[in-house]
Amino acid sequence: MLDREAVDRWLEKFVHALRAQFGERLVYVGQHGSWARGEGRPDSDIDTAVVLDRVDPADLVCCREIIEQMPDAQKVASGVLISVDELRRWNPGEQVQFFYGREVLHGSVDGIARPPTAHELIEDIRTKACDNLIAARHYMIYPHDRSQAVHRLMYPFKHCFFALQAWMLVQEGKFIGRKEDLLKVLSDPLDRDVVEVVRDWHKSEQDRTERPLHYIQLLERWSSHMLAELRSRAS
């Protein structure tokens, strides 16, 4: 089980190993995810983003070996490894994570990436809403054991949260990292409901099993509603 002190020790060891292995080729290391937002739980992953000057097959092997030597890596290690060129070509809306809700541990992405524009954020919100709508309606229409399928929707619901963070950045010009802080400013009941689902995901397993359609329909309604909001904003 993790606490903030243990996470900091883990990250210090990880960055030290990366620097020793890659030297000046190591461009950026950032802590992302729930611990960076101040929402980490004892069972939360340690999420990192690593940027190298390039990523060769041998680099993937080296990174895997570094991670395998980290404490409890199989349980807690998570993140992304990309090259400078790949980051430049990354979905602009997804680049928001390199500027908001993260802690820089090494280097910088200045001159490589930039904060996304309002238009880019809106297009990323649209993509998330479309993907979620497809997933929700799939489970509503096609034969599945919904009591099992509903537990696969953690990431679609997380994407609702990320989309609403981006929506607030577009609407209000401010990034709100924590779910509790976001709930304080959301007025739409559907927005509040999906954020509460993400916040309470790890203690709602029984309720999801007993009421799977409730969660699937909520995801479907929110996604359709968000697409309508985007259409309204554009008109």
Residue 52 CA to residue 28 CA, distance in Å, equals 7
* 80 phi/psi in degrees, rounded to 5: -140, 145
Three-state SS at 72: coil
Give which of 184, 185, 182 is closest to 198, Cα–Cα.
Answer: 182
Domains and CATH numbers, the chain: 4-107 (3.30.460.10), 118-234 (1.20.120)
Looking at residue 2, what is its pLDDT?
A: 87
The alpha helices in the chain, defined as continuous H runs, are 4-22, 33-37, 57-68, 73-76, 84-89, 118-141, 146-149, 154-172, 179-185, 189-199, 205-210, 212-234
The two structure tokens encoding residue 207: 């309720």
- Blockwise average pLDDT, block size 10, the chain, 235 residues: 91 98 98 92 93 98 97 94 97 93 96 96 97 98 97 97 97 95 97 98 97 98 97 83
Q: 46 forms bridges with which residues in the sheet?
A: 77
Nearest partner of 94 among 53, 145, 130, 49, judged by Cα: 49
Sheet holding 77-83, edge to edge: 77-83, 46-52, 26-32, 103-107
Backbone angles phi, psi at 57, to 5 degrees: -55, -40
Model pLDDT, residue 201? 97
- Model confidence, pTM: 0.92
pLDDT at 133: 98
